[in-house]
A = this chain, B = another copy of it.
Amino acid sequence: MNDLTQTPEMLIATMGARARRAAATIAQASDVQKADALRRAAQALRDQAPAIIAANARDMDNAVANGLSPALLDRLRLDAGRVEATAAGVEQVAGLPNPLGSVIDQSVRPNGLDLRRVRVPLGVIGIIYESRPNVTADAAALCLRAGNAVILRGGSEAKESNRAIHAAIVEGIVAAGLPADVVQLVPTTDRAAVGALLKAAEFVDLIVPRGGKSLVARVQDEARVPVLAHLDGINHSYVDGAADPTMAQQLVVNAKMRRTGICGATETVLIDSAYAYAPALVRALLDAQCEVRGDEAVQAMDARVKPADEADWDTEYLDAIVSVRLVDGVGEAIAHIAAHASHHTDAIITDDPATAERFLNAVDSAIVMWNASTQFADGGEFGLGAEIGISTGRLHARGPVALEGLTTYKWIVRGTGQVRP
């Protein structure tokens, strides 16, 4: 397919030009045809499940030989259930509402010009990801459904799995009459190809990194193409003096401990010094097997509390560890969050609506919550369908990004011969 002796820049330029042509074609394809392509891709994934699982077994053998950690091995592993879940995910994207063609707003000017902003595809999207091979299918499905071409660059440890999944996706796309180049997989795991992709502003409209912090940091640092991503989820749950103690305990334990490794997990709990049930809350976290690192007041509540140092307020643990601090009311909570949050998801727990609204208004994060667990920070939980990622950037799309974030708009002006005076 590609001559691997060429430079990474030549490879990406060739793929980019193909993607641009494919993007122009798919932008004109009907919604029925795009959904059909995804349903056929899902079927191809099912049909080719044995080949995909065999390819994955080769990746797993290499990964074991290379001493990958059990957590990474689990992310890499595919079995019949996971391939079926991947196919079902592609089908689910096919069933989402068409994100294109809707009129965002319309006006008729005094001179009779009819102006509409209409949703259109974004263009060409680059996805850079690590060990989970299902991203090959998930990301391709979302990009295609929104009328875009996509260039996928998966991790070297999953290269056989990614190739097999990509082949199935392309089979579905071609069977539906769309160009194979709508979904391209970078055929080399040379890291220089990532660098070239990150700089290919001529060919790529948006880069979405999917993976750990070091990947996202590299992408944000090197990219000359716009990036949609979040680096950290340093999220806060603030328990106000007017919080219901039962609700507060349930929410805080859920926000921290339901799954500690997801970006929506709470990392710091701020407790109003006027909240009378702070010791019980801290004990509930400790009893849930969470390590608590507290300021002096929190340390005094239970002997198991460890001292927090300054770095703790800026740490995303992604583990059963939480930093806890007493603050002097919602104002100090807002100030702490402004200084330390990654502006991903921050919550207040209170029965006082005025205090809640003050917090929701003043905290400048992608997601702000009142009396809810920060673990709800997820496109699926938000009813958006599958998400391509969560953005802590401020432009274009913020928070969970699904199909709409993979679109843009154009202005359509309809006249009857108006000239500008």
Q: Is A370 an interface residue (CB 8 A)?
A: yes
- Contact pattern, A 237-278, Cβ under 8 Å of B = 1, otherwise 0: 000000010010011001000100000000000000000000
Q: Is A364 an interface residue (CB 8 A)?
A: yes
Give chain B residues whose Cβ lies under 8 Å from the Cβ of A244. 417
Minimum Cβ distance to chain B for residue A133 (Å):
26
Q: Is the CB of A370 within 8 A of B410?
A: no
Q: Is A205 an interface residue (CB 8 A)?
A: yes
Give chain B residues whose Cβ lies under 8 Å from the Cβ of A366. 410-411
Q: Is A85 an interface residue (CB 8 A)?
A: no
Q: Is the CB of A396 within 8 A of B398?
A: no
Q: How many copies of this chain does the complex contain?
A: 2
Q: Is the CB of A367 within 8 A of B410?
A: yes
Give chain B residues whose Cβ lies under 8 Å from the Cβ of A28. 361-362
Question: Which A residues form the contact surface with B (CB < 8 A)?
Answer: 24, 27-28, 107, 109, 113, 115, 120, 122-123, 205-206, 226, 244, 247, 250-251, 254, 258, 338, 356, 360-362, 364-373, 375-376, 381-383, 394-396, 398-400, 408-420
CA distance A361 to B147 in the complex (A): 13
Q: Is the CB of B381 within 8 A of A420?
A: yes
Minimum Cβ distance to chain B for residue A364 (Å):
7
Give chain B residues whose Cβ lies under 8 Å from the Cβ of A398. 408-411
Minimum Cβ distance to chain B for residue A273 (Å):
23
Give chain B residues whose Cβ lies under 8 Å from the Cβ of A399. 410-411
17 contacts between A and B (CB under 8 A): A28-B361, A107-B382, A226-B226, A254-B419, A258-B420, A364-B410, A367-B413, A368-B412, A368-B413, A369-B415, A370-B415, A371-B415, A371-B416, A373-B420, A395-B395, A395-B408, A400-B411
Q: Is the CB of A372 within 8 A of B247?
A: no
Minimum Cβ distance to chain B for residue A355 (Å):
13
Contact of A414 among B338, B370, B417 (CB under 8 A): B370
CA distance A277 to B206 in the complex (A): 44
Q: Is the CB of A417 within 8 A of B382?
A: no
